[in-house]
Amino acid sequence: MKINRKVSKALAAAFLALSAVSLAESSWGHPGRTDANGCHTNRKTGDYHCHNGSGSGSGSGSGSGSSSPSGGGSEGVCLTFNDCMSRGEAQLNSDAAQALRYFQQALLLKPGDIKAFTQVNVVEPYVMAIPGSCPNFKTCMNLGYAAIKQKNYQTALVNFKRALAFDLGNKYAVEAIGNVSRYIQQSRN
């Protein structure tokens, strides 16, 4: 999937902001945002597709996003954590869906890695709808901050991801995702 120049710049800005955030060494992985078949609907295109190749997607049939990161074709294969992270970072400016798949594979290879966990959470709003609703960026951010005060870090994370979906590349949303990722790790230790 090719992405436009504005989204490409937003992803690059998000990556730079993420790199600037000081992150802890490890965190727990998350269950993903796919249904029981490993599939989901791309919020930008409306296509229903699968990442594990086992679902019966009824989308456009373009096959975009239907191969898993460890599946066919050398372009989608990464064998080590560092390779997956490098490939994901390299895809940020051209193919957010592929970058997400690489980061998800990295998280599978090293489930406790905070950087992979954070990258997955930062890139997801570029590729898929974040469940739930809030009317605008500011409200989502405020809901996230309120959830942090209550130490409800998962709720905060979802709201910051919703905020990022409103304003792709927003450095405050990206930093909030990085920070709440650390809080999630700290609360699990």
pLDDT, tens digit, 9 for 90 and up, residues 5-53: 655 566 655 555 555 443 333 333 333 456 555 555 555 555 555 554 4
Query: Residue 23: what pLDDT?
Result: 36
pLDDT, tens digit, 9 for 90 and up, residues 69-89: 333 345 678 989 999 999 999
- Amino acid, res. 186: Q
pLDDT, tens digit, 9 for 90 and up, residues 149-171: 999 999 999 999 999 999 999 99
Q: What is the CA radius of gyration of the chain?
A: 16
When the pLDDT of each residue in the chain is averaged and rounded to a whole number, the result is 74
Which pTM value belongs to this model? 0.63
- Residue 35 vs residues 10, 59, 66, 163: alpha-carbon distances, Å: 28, 15, 14, 23
